[in-house]
Chain A
Amino acid sequence: MEDIRDIVLEYVIEEYLEDEDEELTYNTPLISGGIVDSFSMVSLKRFLETKYKISIPDEKASPEAFDTVNSITELVKEYVK
């Protein structure tokens, strides 16, 4: 299986960064850093659920859990069999 972290990172870069010069790491704060607004978490959650054929309960999809690529990866790993 491809590294979940890299897939999430690639998705976030393509989805949210407007400027090619911007840099994003596994630990860049996405929501608290203003890169991803809370609305846009929806598409990120849908992407992950579709990609990994999982269902993340809404109460688990908190802004904290979605705040960095690393934390998102941890969340996904909980549900990937």
Chain B
Amino acid sequence: MGFSDKVRHIYQKELESVEQQGIFKVERFIHSAQDAEIEVEFPTGSNLKKVINMCANNYLGLSSHPDVVKAAHEGLDTRGYGMSSVRFICGTQDIHKKLEQKVTEFLGTEDTILFPSCMDANAGVFEAILTKDDVMISDRLVHASIIDGIRLCSAMHDTFKHSNMKHLEKKLQLHSDKRLKVVITDGVFSMDGDTAKLDEMVDLCEKYDAMLFVDDSHASGFIGKTGRGTHEKYGVLGKIDIITTTFGKALGGASGGCVSGRKELVEMCRQKARPYLFSNTIAPVVVSGVLKVLEILSKSTERRDKLEANTEYWRKGLTDAGFVLQAGDTPIVPVMLFNAKLAQDFSRDLYDEGIYAIGFFFPVVPNGKARIRTQISAGHEKHHLDKALAAFIKIGKKYDILGKSKKEIIEQYGL
């Protein structure tokens, strides 16, 4: 055993340092199913508190939908619990293939391959399709899982300023000598809730013969008129070469992800992507649930329409009340407070009022851009949003920030 007191001390010091920096993460235990209202034990050992959930990725309110739960039960009964194998040995069922076909149809791509998570999809895809002769050019605010995938790939990596198309074009010119070029972006950026300008990016990629990669995890199921994703919103269906997305957010919220796109790229992943080759795929119970989710979404846009209406209502309510919001039209609605301590205090006070929304501050977001990130769901009813809004206004008054500009809030609380 090599875990001596000396070794233990090193880790204890490191954990203390994390705590001192104010970035020590603590879990809150939820004693109910994921929903618009949940029962939370926080702090640990305290009585359960019923709160309105404003921080889940449960955009379509499908995480505990009875039809999805029923389909999952049926999957469990007919296909069992686990596969005990990776896909290419004896870990592929008919329903895995069916889900790949259904996702392909839903996203309007050529082919799809499932991964245990979108984190795994992003970690595996670049290494599978690129070599050291190629270049990856990514938006500077892409998700951490993409950065991990980029690190695992031998191709050259460069970045462009967030959503800055002129800068992207310069980079495409700089790397014009590379064998293959991939431009990499999130569809919806999870911290600010803004969307990538996919129409302009498609044009640039066509002009400079580059492939376009989009992680649509915060979009699949609800962005665009029929919820296909950011590519639908920008009118570029069929023009994105690689889409990765998750089933752990709007599409049922359990787990799993995929790479969907050009069939040769998907086949390269099937041959070479390590998280696919060396890990079990999504469990049958989850596959059955996601199939039901796609069936629900393909029949009707009712849920994404309700989400859109809820988002408009929420944004308008906060704006009219005098909060500073990050501009956008997605269900990620960041209420800007700028100061980290104010964000922490505000979140704590919201919880006391029965509203569960988390404060984000450096290093999760840039210094001086602390905020409460609210996330709207089709599972929210008007009375949920009204109660949450009343709590925001009450606490906004307490800290005297309503109607104040960014500059005034920073003058009052500092950065």
Contact = CB atoms under 8 A, between A and B. Distances in A.
Chain A contact-residue range equals under 10
Nearest to A17: B161
A42 B174 contact: no
A42 B174 CA distance: 11
Given A47-B174, A50-B174, A42 B156 contact: yes
A42 B157 contact: yes
B159 A40 contact: yes
Contacts of A42: 156-158
Contacts, number: 21
Nearest to B175: A46
Interface string B148-166: 0010000011110110000
B171 interface: yes
Contacts of A37: 159
A46 to B, nearest CB: 6
Contacts of A40: 158-159
A38 to B, nearest CB: 10
- Name the prevailing secondary structure of the A interface residues: helix
Interface of B: 150, 156-159, 161-162, 171, 174-175
A18 interface: yes
Contacts of B159: 37, 39-40, 43
A8 B199 CA distance: 33
B364 to A, nearest CB: 15
Contact of B171 (A18, A39, A43, A50): A43
21 contacts: A18-B161, A18-B162, A37-B159, A39-B150, A39-B157, A39-B158, A39-B159, A40-B158, A40-B159, A42-B156, A42-B157, A42-B158, A43-B158, A43-B159, A43-B171, A43-B174, A46-B158, A46-B174, A46-B175, A47-B174, A50-B174
Interface in A29-81: 37, 39-40, 42-43, 46-47, 50
Contacts of B158: 39-40, 42-43, 46
A40 B138 CA distance: 10
Contacts of B157: 39, 42
Contacts of B162: 18
Nearest to B367: A34
B128 to A, nearest CB: 20
A46 B175 CA distance: 9
Nearest to B171: A43
Contacts of A47: 174
Nearest to B363: A34
A72 to B, nearest CB: 17
B72 to A, nearest CB: 40
Q: Which of B150, B158, B171, B175 has the most CB of A within 10 A?
A: B158
* Most chain B CB within a 10 A radius of its CB, from A18, A42, A43, A47: A43
Contacts of A39: 150, 157-159
Contacts of A18: 161-162
Nearest to A43: B158
A50 to B, nearest CB: 7
Nearest to A47: B174
B370 to A, nearest CB: 17
Contacts of A43: 158-159, 171, 174
Q: Which 7 A-B pairs have the closest CB atoms?
A: A43-B158, A39-B157, A42-B158, A40-B159, A42-B156, A42-B157, A46-B174
A50 B150 CA distance: 24
Nearest to A44: B158
A50 B159 CA distance: 17
B133 to A, nearest CB: 14
